[in-house]
Structure 1
Amino acid sequence: MDEAAKGETTEPALLRRARRGDETAFEALYHGHARAIHALAFRLTGDAAAAEDIVQDTFLRMFGFLSGLREDTPLRPWLKRVAANLAIDRLRRGRHHADDDALLHALDDGPSPATVAEADGLLRRLPPVARTLVWLHEMEGWSHEELAHRFGRSPSWSKSILSRSLSRLRGHLEPGTGNERS
């Protein structure tokens, strides 16, 4: 390969090179997006090891789907969608949301801010499914219909969990809302 082609570092050029089997191009794509994908996966799962697995699986899927990726479309949204779907699959396999009553109870009667380590952050106070719904809806822009479809539930299920989750988060932020426990 000539030096001019190896010097191309734009995302479309890297995709073209990766399709031709250029390992350094694939590596450059990985290094350009891995941290953001890991951050999303960690936010959704709350588990560093699971997040690392999701990053690896996401890039393996990208590698297997290189020919289908469009050069004129940014890669990161596709990677984020794959990573979010992998995180949801983990939650579904783990049956973290099998008992809706338990999930709703956890949202209503979860630990108070005083008993949760501040380093874990506000979202970590939510059960995994609730945390995932909040992040994907509020930060990634997924609709209730998309969430419901992906979780195999109804849009009203998504709306209910999201509403309770946001209410709980507001309660943690607003002093004197009655969420304090002794």
Structure 2
Amino acid sequence: MDHLPDLIQACLQHDRIAQRKLYDRYKKPMYSLAYRMTGDFDTAQDVLQEAFIDMFRHLSDFRGEATFGRWFKTIVIRKAYRHIENRKLWSTEIPEELVSDTGYAGVEAAHLEKALLSLPEGCRTVFLMIEVEGYSHREVAEVLGVTEGTSKSQLHAAKQKLRKLLQSPALLS
């Protein structure tokens, strides 16, 4: 019963084994996402737990308009964003894959980390969602409750500021 639609149907019937399989399938990638957004192991664990609770609670709302993983990622991002807004936490360590995934290969991870952390929160969130997680501006707008125009301008501002910061290391000192 590892076929996802069957697994989801079994979860809707409160099958604990199916729920465990779904949890095991998604815990690592969703934890990684929560950690990238919050930058804190404990907060990421809280986000993950809350996201799984919400996912199981609202599983009947999943309509298949997007992939299940994409639908669940949206839940995780919303939870992480709320934690960030509440606690104003951001990463103190940028995972190495972020450097290569965002096209900033050749830039020292520590330098990129400082540059990302210096971005305003809105720019940083939009940058991570689009450049790292692959969301569209429409999806970012829906998740964050902003307009697509706001998402586009936040990404543009983030890229401009990052470019400037990465070209002039003295700005990060």
Which residue of structure 1 aligns with residue 71 of structure 2?
78
Question: Residue 118 and residue 178 in structure 1: after superposition, are their counterparts in 2 closer, same or farther (change >3 A)?
Answer: closer
Could you tell me the TM-score, scaled by structure 1's length?
Answer: 0.66
CA displacement, residues 84-126 of structure 1 (integer Å, 9 cap, x when unaligned): 1112222333468xxxxxxxxxxxxxxxx99x84695874564
2:135 is the counterpart of 1:141: yes
Instruction: State, as a whole percentage, how many aligned pairs show the same letter.
Output: 27
Q: Secondary structure at the match of 1:38?
A: helix
Equivalents in 1 of 2:155, 2:63: separation in Å?
A: 33
**How many residue pairs align between the two structures?**
154
Question: Residue 32 and residue 162 in structure 1: after superposition, are their counterparts in 2 closer, same or farther (change >3 A)?
Answer: same
Q: Secondary structure at the match of 1:29?
A: helix
Equivalents in 2 of 1:28, 1:121: separation in Å?
A: 38
Equivalents in 1 of 2:139, 2:169: separation in Å?
A: 31
Kindly provide the amino acid, as one letter, of the partner of residue 31 in structure 1: D
Aligned 1:120-159 pairs, distance under 5 A: 123-124=116-117, 126=119, 128-138=121-131, 139-143=133-137, 147=140, 150-151=143-144, 157-159=150-152
Unmatched runs of 5 consecutive residues or more in structure 2:
90-106
Which residue of structure 2 aligns with residue 52 of structure 1?
45
2:15 is the counterpart of 1:22: yes
Equivalents in 1 of 2:142, 2:5: separation in Å?
A: 32
Equivalents in 2 of 1:55, 1:172: separation in Å?
A: 32
Equivalents in 1 of 2:4, 2:154: separation in Å?
A: 38
CA displacement, residues 15-66 of structure 1 (integer Å, 9 cap, x when unaligned): 1211222111111101101111111111222222221111111110111122
Kindly provide the amino acid, as one letter, of the partner of residue 84 in structure 1: I
Unmatched runs of 5 consecutive residues or more in structure 1:
1-7, 97-112
Larger Rg: 1
